[in-house]
Structure 1
Amino acid sequence: MDKSVLSVGVLGLGFMLLFTAFQTMGNIEKVVIDSIARDDTTFSGDGYVSLAIIYATFTICNWLAPSVVALLGPRGAMRLGSLTYCIFTASFLWPQTWLLYAGSALLGIGAAVTWNGQGVYLSRCSNSSTISRNSAIFWAMLQASMLLGNAFVWREFSGKTEINVDTRTLLFSVLVVVALLGVFVLFGLPEHKSAHKPGRPLAEIHSAMKLLVTPKMGLLSITFLYSGMELSFFSGVYSPTVGFTNALGAKHLVGLSGVCIGLGEVVGGIACGLAGTKLRRDAILFGGYIFHAIAFATILINLPDAAVFGETDATSLLNPPSAALALVAAFLLGLGDACFNTQIVALLGGVFASQSAAAFALFRFMQSLAAASGFAYSTVLGLRFQLALLATMGALGTLAFWRVEWRTRAEAETICTETEKKIPKEHGGSRPYSISAKMYSARDSRSGTVWCTIYDGIGKNLVPKIGSWLHSR
């Protein structure tokens, strides 16, 4: 088996186990904490506040995360950061308000380190022709955690209208064990050397700051912000909203909704992997927005506006609401999210390969900033206003991604044209070629600069000849 595929598989398995604990917790946290508060009057924690703290801390620490990755390497960073997921999950076995919020802050720090390490490691495992495939494999394995964890929740919550202490204790104990298994797997990650000279810790922060003000990253920031807003909605707001709609019945729909979101993520990850060499990134991302737009419209007519805040007997346009429609919307949310995230990661890994740590830090910074804001405004904004905000930002984010993708392709075509003019005929000059989804890269051996990313219309001989010519210069 190819080493890069094996490495992505181990990475995906470790994150799948780790996030079986965390994503399950995020999906049910609001409902579970409300149950804890009913059993213990001294407990005043709030699920949305806890999740907002996680992502706010994540946002701040993302500026320091590239330095930690530079010091420890991506594998060491992921191993250290993953331990905080175990600590956060274990804190629910002893429900205290201060412990909930302290664990949330600690997890935000660890998550920043973990995800930046993941981005750098995935880039090292990939090249321009495999980054889309590897991103999709990782994404599908990661989101399988939504299926596993929420299937267990569905089973445990089945037929219940209240989540008692025995059910909570069993659930949290199982999730802690699964998270520890994920940490163990991450300790077995194979090593991959970087093709680029490692940067100094402080230089990584400076690089991120410089990258932030570039035109491409400025446009991509809009896409990043939308990805964070929809992340907060599907991961911590939507399933509790389904559970708080009394007209839909028992609490097991919270877990079933999470299963459908996870199923959409897995199907989307696999589909993006298969389509990655046939369709352009902008086309796949546009498909993701269409899925989300349909989901938003479905949710609007099916669920009541007040269900975001807690249990309600109110209804929306459909009376009674449809459980099947709620699950279809959950699937579409996961499907669209997979399209967005796989293509964002693929674009960053390809366009910013030499600045991968800084690029992924900025992505996670913007995404977590928007996610923290999403959980914060969920405490005061009703469902309809949130859906309108998501639909608007999604459209803007899609347009911004298109602009960057088209500009990048135009630049590549210009560079290829200029490069071909300099190449003698014996090295493949003046041969026909066209830009396409299937691409090959030729790099200057001295500087590492990408000279052109092309597909030879006659055969696959042009790139090796260009590379040979560049090497002899």
Structure 2
Amino acid sequence: MTPEQKKLFNIIVLGLGFMFMFTAFQTCGNIEQTVIKSFNSTEFNGSGYTSMSIIYGVFSASNLVAPSVVAVIGPQFSMFFSGLLYSAYIAMFIHPYTWSFYTASVLVGVGAAVLWTAQGNVLAINSDNHTIGRNSGIFWALLQFSLFFGNLYIYCAWHGHEHITDKDRQTVFISLTVISLVGCFLFFLIRKPDPDMSSSEVTESLIHAEQIEDSSDSSTPSSLGSQAVDAFVQACKVSVTKEMLLLSFSIGYTGLELTFYSGVYGTCIGAMTRFGEDAKSLIGISGICIGIGEILGGGIFGLLNKNNRFGRNPVVLLGLVTHFVAFYLVFLNIASDAPLAPEAGTNREAFITPSVGVALLCSFLLGFGDSCYNTQLLSIVGFLFRDKSAPAFAVFKFIQSIMAALAFFYSNFLLLHWQLLILIISGILGTLTFFLAEWKAQSLRETDYSSI
């Protein structure tokens, strides 16, 4: 196997590992609030929105130290141990208690920061300037297959169920826990890239970059403690660069819309009694449609646009237009109180007679638009900060997760039309600032990127 084939193999294994893990976790997040409403236990009074807000809040704070963890134990073990925390969170739903629910939320927030920082590091180490777009697309498409398989299972398991019983819940979450564990162990198949010039520079920079550039005693061997401190300092420095400050608005938007499509919109569909007795199982079909949109977008803009001939801006603009069409249709089709409705659901109409077909079309558009943003953000961050990949992706996830935490928090209180207004305003701002960052990247394409 040539060095290039080995790197491609690593990207595929990385994508498959995340596909299994997030088949379980994203399905869990999609049905979580609906499942919690069906609980018949006086020992449990948690909120799915609150749990996800805790996860993303802790996720955000933990991103400040995640590069240090990856620097000390390496990306492979970082992903494995973080994956175990995801599995524990899913397993908690088999016999849920309020204390275990919120404790697991905190732990998975910590694990998420380490997991995604390590993922960004593996992606950058196994890519170069010519393959970062392709590899981002491959990873994103494989990851989004998780939405297809997990939600297809939910549809089949809950078809015709107006109420989710304890047995229904336990069967689903035992299966999801096993699927998550399979993804954890797949990470051990990732191989260390052959030591060529680009990969060795990337690996070295993860631990020693700031020492080499700034420190007068760079020849002194670093202890594990100093490696951790170096990684933290790098993350702080990356976060205040002009490029990252510009990208922070578009990254923040992806956090807000992540909350909407992964937690709020599925809950809205399940709460619409005018969709009939299969409204609960439609949550699964909605997730499948989101996944199809994500996979299609990842394939088109990652695999088929290898040379990035037209730049990233047209793709991001397409994502904005797609999302705005989706938001408008959701506004017309879904009742404004659907995110906050009790288990019995809402019998209200919006501005048109509720249509299952329109609801599922919106799911597809939400997924397609999300892939437009995320594939291009993964590509530009990996491109601009390839020599500091772990700190850069830690900052990426810090911004994204803190906005997702904020969105899950206000989802407990705001009606649907107010949530859509927030998404529209942040989407416009994020797209304009992405344009500026991409133009800056284009102007630097022929220069030495190690100075960034």
The answer, yes or no, to whether TM exceeds 0.5 is: yes
Pairing 1:95-244 to 2, within 5 Å after superposition:
95-192=96-193, 194-196=200-202, 197=204, 198-199=206-207, 200-244=227-271
Q: Structure 2 residue aligned with 1:258, among 282, 287, 291?
A: 287
Q: CA-to-partner distance for each residue in 1:186-205, whole Å, 9 max, x for gaps? A: 12111135423242211111
Which stretch of structure 1 is more off in the superposition, 140-149 or 197-206? 197-206
CA distance in structure 2 between the partners assigned to 1:276 and 1:240 by the alignment: 37
1:7 pairs with one of 6, 10, 15: 10
Shift of 1:77: 0.9
| Cα displacement (A) at 1:216 | 1.7
Deviation for aligned residue 1:243: 0.5
CA distances 1:179-235 after superposition (whole Å, capped 9, x unpaired): 111111112111135423242211111111122222221111111110100001101
Tell me how far apart the structure 2 counterparts of residues 48 and 287 of structure 1 sit (CA, whole Å). 29
- Answering whether residue 313 of structure 2 is matched by residue 282 of structure 1, we say yes
CA distance, structure 2, for counterparts of residue 262 and residue 138 of structure 1: 14
1:312-461 → structure 2 map (5 Å cutoff): 312-319=346-353, 321-412=354-445, 415=447, 449=450
State the superposition RMSD in angstroms. 1.4
Other-structure match for 1:74? 75
Counterpart CA distance in 2 for 1:348 and 1:411 is 14
Cα distance in structure 1, aligned partners of 2:420 and 2:436: 25
For 2:390, the aligned partner's letter is A
Secondary structure of the structure 1 residue equivalent to 2:327: helix
| C-alpha distance after superposition, 1:237-286 (max 9, x if no partner) | 10111111111122111111111111111111111121242331111111
1:43 aligns with 44
Say if 2:387 and 2:450, in contact at 8 Å, map to a contact too: no
SS of the residue 1:187 aligns to: helix
**What SS does structure 1 have at the residue aligned with 2:38?**
helix
The 1-side partners of 2:158 and 2:349 are apart by 23
Report the Cα distance in structure 2 between the residues aligned to 1:385 and 1:449, rounded to whole angstroms: 43
The percentage of counterpart residues that share the same residue type is 41
Q: Equivalents in 1 of 2:192, 2:91: separation in Å?
A: 30
Question: Pick from 25, 29, 35: which aligns with 1:26?
Answer: 29
Between the aligned partners of 2:351 and 2:250, the Cα distance in structure 1 is 31
Structure 2 residue ranges without an equivalent (≥5): 194-198, 208-226
SS of structure 2 residue aligned to 1:93: coil
Amino acid at match of 1:334: G
Note if contact 2:94-2:173 (Cα within 8 Å) is conserved in structure 1.
yes
* Higher mean C-alpha deviation, range 324-333 or range 353-362: 353-362
Structure ID, larger Rg: 1
Check whether the contact 2:14–2:139 (CA below 8 A) recurs between aligned residues: yes
The residue type paired with residue 402 of structure 1 is F
Name the stretch that deviates more: 300-309 or 197-206. Answer: 197-206
| Structure 1 range deviating more: 9-18 or 195-204 | 195-204
Q: Cα distance, 1:393 vs. partner?
A: 0.5
What amino acid does structure 1 have at the position aligned with 2:295?
A: V
- Stretch of structure 1 that moved more, 227-236 or 208-217: 208-217
Looking at structure 2, the residues matched to 139 and 294 of structure 1 have their Cα atoms a distance apart, in angstroms, of 23
Q: Are residue 269 (structure 1) and residue 302 (structure 2) matched?
A: no
Deviations 1:268-321 (A, max 9, x none): 1111121242331111111111111111011000001000112211110012x0
Letter of the 2:127 counterpart: S
Distance 2:181 2:364 in 1: 28
The answer to whether the 8 Å contact 2:160/2:281 transfers is yes
Q: Matches of 2:450 and 2:251 in 1, distance apart?
A: 26
Q: Distance in 2 between matches of 1:351 and 1:4?
A: 20
**Residues 233 and 76 (structure 1), Cα distance of their counterparts in 2 relative to 1, 3 Å cut:** same
Shift of 1:450: 7.7
Aligned match of 1:296: 327
Shift of residue 43 of structure 1?
1.4
In the aligned structure 2, how far is the partner of 1:449 from the partner of 1:125?
Answer: 17
Aligned to 1:458: none
Q: In structure 1, give the amino acid aligned to 2:87.
A: C
CA distance in 1 between partners of 2:200 and 2:41 (Å): 52
Could you state the TM-score of these two structures normalised by the residue count of structure 1? Answer: 0.86
Distance in 2, Cα, partners of 1:208 & 1:169: 41
Task: Give the count of matched residue pairs.
Answer: 416
Partner amino acid, structure 2, of 1:128: N
Whole-Å separation in 2 of the counterparts to 1:190 and 1:378: 42
Q: Any idea what the Cα deviations from partners look like across 1:431-473, whole Å, max 9, x if unmatched?
A: xxxxxxxxxxxx6xxxx8489xxxxxxxxxxxxxxxxxxxxxx
Q: What is the CA distance between 1:342 and its match in structure 2?
A: 0.8
Letter matched to residue 152 of structure 1: Y
Tell me if the contact between 2:131 and 2:306 (Cα under 8 Å) persists in the aligned partners. no
